[in-house]
Amino acid sequence: MSDNLQQAYETMTARIGEADPPTEWFEIDQKRIDDFADVTLDDQWIHVDVERAKAGPFGAPIAHGHLTLSIMGHLPRAHVVEGPRLEGQKLGINYGFNRVRFPSPVPVGSRIRMQSTLRSVEIKGGMLEVMNEVVVEVEGQDKPCCVAESLGRLVF
């Protein structure tokens, strides 16, 4: 194991439990929902048929759960969140998710934001695998709209 990898592991494990500040609020409008439906071929009426959705279980169109999942890492930040400098790190890659849940809907016109908390760090094949708990909330709702265990790999 390289010295850089070991040092990075120690630096990151010291941060377990730390949460980044929440992102800025971001509006989910009907155009974004429609565009996502076009790209994913998921044109279920609860997302794209505005009139029918008004009489549906949510009273309005709702965003696709996968739309929320897809954009959560790109939600705008009030300021740049920089982690510690990890000597020798070449890049970071999205490795996937352990668990994803959508506890509440995102009605059209809602604003969402995300907060991420580092939960674990492991050395895997010359890389660090980090797992963050990500919570996406809807402004004015008690339950989050998405809770996920997001995995990333830091390549050295």
pLDDT of residue 2: 85
Domain that holds residue 19: 3-155
pLDDT of residue 77: 81
pLDDT of residue 73: 85
| Helix residue ranges per DSSP H, the chain | 3-13, 30-40, 45-48, 50-54, 65-71
Asked if the model's pLDDT at residue 10 lies above 80, the reply is yes
CATH number for the domain harbouring residue 114: 3.10.129.10
Asked if the model's pLDDT at residue 1 lies above 90, the reply is no
**CB 127, CB 153: distance < 8 Å:** yes
Mean pLDDT across the stretch 20-33?
97
pLDDT of residue 19: 95
Asked if the model's pLDDT at residue 100 lies above 90, the reply is yes
Asked if the model's pLDDT at residue 130 lies above 70, the reply is yes
Q: Can you read off the two tokens belonging to residue 24? A: 């800025």
Domain count, the chain: 1
**CB 110, CB 28: distance < 8 Å:** yes
Report which residue type is found at 137: E
Asked if the model's pLDDT at residue 125 lies above 80, the reply is yes
Tell me the pLDDT tens digit for each residue of 41-89.
999 999 999 999 999 999 999 999 999 999 998 898 876 656 667 888 9
Q: Model's pTM, two decimal places?
A: 0.89
Tell me the pLDDT tens digit for each residue of 104-115.
999 999 999 999
Q: How far apart are CA 9 and CA 117, in angstroms?
A: 17
